[in-house]
């Protein structure tokens, strides 16, 4: 069995070589929580060893966001520093690789007023828009990998002592990222190839819609004529490098048509949104927009999310993950989108990815919008997949083709 030290080193290597695929001479912009200093330093070391001229390490402290949510004057919450945006934007625009180390307390913001948090989030998204545009358009290679911070581990394993909880969460991260058996680079080459089989099969069918059916869910998701199913990696516009934006990734995904979604979908897992939990919720769509919603817990948070802008009430992503995926098999609820989204089929409220439209990154956005692209300041995944999920693909002729049965591929 590999040591923790070796596995954390391998995770750093994986994030650089498979995640952002750092090239010699390319700078690295590295963001992560202060708790993740150990991984930040390993990544910085390996980035310099790979020939990065500079590693700009930016540490985040989510406690300071909570402090702001609780202590700032009301009228000052609608502010976010443009100078921070300019810093990040300058770096990603010139093609620096952008690696984000995640991992946070799922309940962080629960002591704060959801409306105040929503104001903070909205102003941040508004100011950071030019950066998120570059991310969505794959201008530069970017990737996210998670770090097991204690508050997150305590949430996933509430019954265990702190140290054991942390150890279990690390085991889950290492397993999901395939760094627990040596040579993660080779393991990821095999994995990415398997994922591409599914996306190629879906692209071959060129469905006009998918029908999702499960207890509490009966949703027809229209697809743009120019939709493309993506999986695993993408190519960065700035340097053509193949990068993998999420570590782990198990999904095959495309864009729903922003105007052609109708019916009801029920979430199969809680959603941790900006440090606040939304549980037991469902959304009803008509002509692409949410017209009704309900939640057993966090309904005010869900309401604030849907009110960010017009596009926050429409869909920007549909992703398929078999129920037998390794992360799903852990049986754990991670309260963390990067993990939970790769354990179950999911939809995203908010902005679509240009890469899920044919030649999407090289065509004007107005053209994509006419084809069904959803515009928004936000992009929030929520899970609806389960062992009870059936999906049919609808061809232009009206013929139905089984895509998933009982949560597994039926193609």
Q: Which is nearer to its own copies, 4 or 48 (CB)?
A: 48
Q: Least Å distance between CB 55 and its own copies?
A: 7
Q: Least Å distance between CB 129 and its own copies?
A: 18
Assess 84 for contact with its own copies (CB under 8 A): yes
Kindly indicate which of the ranges 86-94, 132-140, 167-175, 221-229 contains the residues binding its own copies, using the contact rule CB under 8 A: 86-94
Q: Which is nearer to its own copies, 91 or 389 (CB)?
A: 91
Assess 90 for contact with its own copies (CB under 8 A): yes
For its own copies, the binding residues in 10-69 under the rule CB under 8 A are 34, 37, 40-41, 44-45, 48-49, 51-57, 59-61, 63-64, 67-68
The helix-helix angle for 82-93 and 114-136 (nearest 10°) equals 20
CB 30 within 8 A of CB 50: no
Those residues with Cβ within 8 angstroms of residue 60's Cβ, 6 or more apart along the chain or in another chain:
31, 32, 33, 34
Nearest to 62 by CA among 33, 29, 39, 85: 33
Q: Least Å distance between CB 112 and its own copies?
A: 13
Q: Least Å distance between CB 134 and its own copies?
A: 15
CB 320 within 8 A of CB 251: yes
Assess 72 for contact with its own copies (CB under 8 A): yes
| Tokens found for residue 238 | 């700035």
The count of chain residues that interact with its own copies, using the rule CB under 8 A, is 35
Q: Which residue has the tokens 């912009």?
A: 29
Assess 91 for contact with its own copies (CB under 8 A): yes
Q: Which is nearer to its own copies, 94 or 190 (CB)?
A: 94
CB 157 within 8 A of CB 314: no
Sheet strands side by side (includes 230-231) = 230-231, 252-254, 315-320, 346-350, 379-383
Q: Which is nearer to its own copies, 35 or 251 (CB)?
A: 35
Q: Which is nearer to its own copies, 45 or 324 (CB)?
A: 45
Q: Least Å distance between CB 40 and its own copies?
A: 7
Q: Least Å distance between CB 25 and its own copies?
A: 9
CB 32 within 8 A of CB 147: yes
Q: Quick one: which H or E segment has residue 65?
A: helix 62-71
Assess 79 for contact with its own copies (CB under 8 A): yes
Q: Which is nearer to its own copies, 51 or 402 (CB)?
A: 51
Q: Which is nearer to its own copies, 54 or 408 (CB)?
A: 54
Coil, helix or strand for 410?
Answer: coil
Q: Which is nearer to its own copies, 31 or 265 (CB)?
A: 31
Dist. CA 191–CA 19, nearest whole Å:
14
Q: Which is nearer to its own copies, 36 or 295 (CB)?
A: 36
Assess 111 for contact with its own copies (CB under 8 A): no
Q: Least Å distance between CB 53 and its own copies?
A: 4
Dist. CA 334–CA 23, nearest whole Å:
32
| Tokens found for residue 76 | 């000052």
Q: Which is nearer to its own copies, 79 or 107 (CB)?
A: 79
Q: Which is nearer to its own copies, 26 or 374 (CB)?
A: 26
Dist. CA 285–CA 406, nearest whole Å:
24
Assess 387 for contact with its own copies (CB under 8 A): no
Q: Least Å distance between CB 315 and its own copies?
A: 34
Dist. CA 272–CA 289, nearest whole Å:
22
Provide the b/e sequence for 49-82 (b: ≥16 CB within 10 Å): ebebeebebeebebeebbebbeeeeeeebeebee
Q: Least Å distance between CB 179 and its own copies?
A: 21
Question: 276-286 and 261-266 as β-strands: parallel, antiparallel, unpaired?
Answer: antiparallel
CB 203 within 8 A of CB 253: no
Q: Least Å distance between CB 29 and its own copies?
A: 10
The phi, psi pair for 211, rounded to 5°, reads -105, 125
Kindly indicate which of the ranges 73-81, 193-201, 240-248, 370-378 contains the residues binding its own copies, using the contact rule CB under 8 A: 73-81
Residues lying near its own copies in the complex (CB under 8 A): 34, 37, 40-41, 44-45, 48-49, 51-57, 59-61, 63-64, 67-68, 71-73, 76, 79, 81-84, 86-87, 90-91
């Amino acid at each position: 069995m590999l040591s923790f030290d070796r596995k954390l080193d391998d995770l750093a290597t994986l994030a650089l070589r498979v995640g952002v695929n750092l090239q010699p001479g390319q700078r690295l912009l590295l963001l992560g929580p202060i708790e993740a200093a150990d991984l930040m330093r390993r990544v910085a070391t390996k980035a310099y060893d790979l020939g990065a001229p500079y590693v700009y390490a930016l540490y985040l402290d989510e406690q300071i966001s909570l402090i702001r949510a609780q202590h700032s004057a009301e009228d000052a919450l609608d502010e976010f520093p443009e100078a921070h945006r300019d810093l990040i934007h300058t770096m990603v625009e010139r093609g620096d690789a952008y690696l984000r180390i995640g991992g946070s307390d799922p309940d962080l913001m629960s002591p704060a007023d959801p409306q105040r948090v929503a104001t903070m989030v909205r102003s941040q998204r508004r100011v950071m828009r030019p950066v998120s545009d570059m991310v969505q358009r794959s201008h530069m290679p970017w990737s996210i990998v998670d770090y097991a911070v204690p508050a997150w581990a305590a949430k996933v394993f509430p019954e265990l002592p702190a140290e054991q909880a942390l150890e279990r969460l690390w085991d889950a991260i290492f397993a999901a990222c395939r760094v627990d058996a040596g040579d993660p680079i080779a393991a990821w080459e095999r994995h990415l190839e398997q994922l591409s089989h599914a996306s190629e099969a879906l692209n071959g069918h060129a469905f006009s819609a998918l029908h999702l059916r499960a207890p509490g869910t009966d949703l027809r998701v229209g697809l743009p004529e120019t939709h493309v199913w993506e999986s695993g990696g993408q190519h960065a516009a700035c340097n053509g490098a193949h990068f993998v934006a999420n570590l782990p990734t198990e999904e095959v995904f495309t864009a729903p048509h922003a105007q052609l979604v109708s019916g009801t979908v029920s979430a199969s897992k809680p959603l941790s949104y900006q440090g606040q939990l939304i549980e037991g919720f469902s959304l009803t769509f008509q002509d692409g927009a949410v017209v009704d919603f309900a939640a057993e817990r966090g309904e005010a948070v869900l309401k604030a999310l849907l009110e960010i802008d017009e596009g926050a009430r429409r869909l920007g992503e549909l992703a398929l993950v078999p129920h037998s995926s390794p992360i799903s098999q852990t049986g754990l609820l991670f309260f963390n989108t990067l993990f939970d989204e790769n354990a179950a089929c999911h939809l995203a409220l908010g902005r679509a990815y240009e890469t899920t439209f044919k030649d999407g990154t090289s065509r004007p956005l107005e053209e994509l919008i006419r084809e069904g692209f959803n515009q928004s300041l936000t992009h929030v995944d929520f899970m609806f997949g389960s062992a009870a999920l059936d999906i049919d693909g609808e061809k232009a002729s009206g013929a139905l083709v089984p895509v998933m049965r009982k949560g597994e591929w039926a193609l």
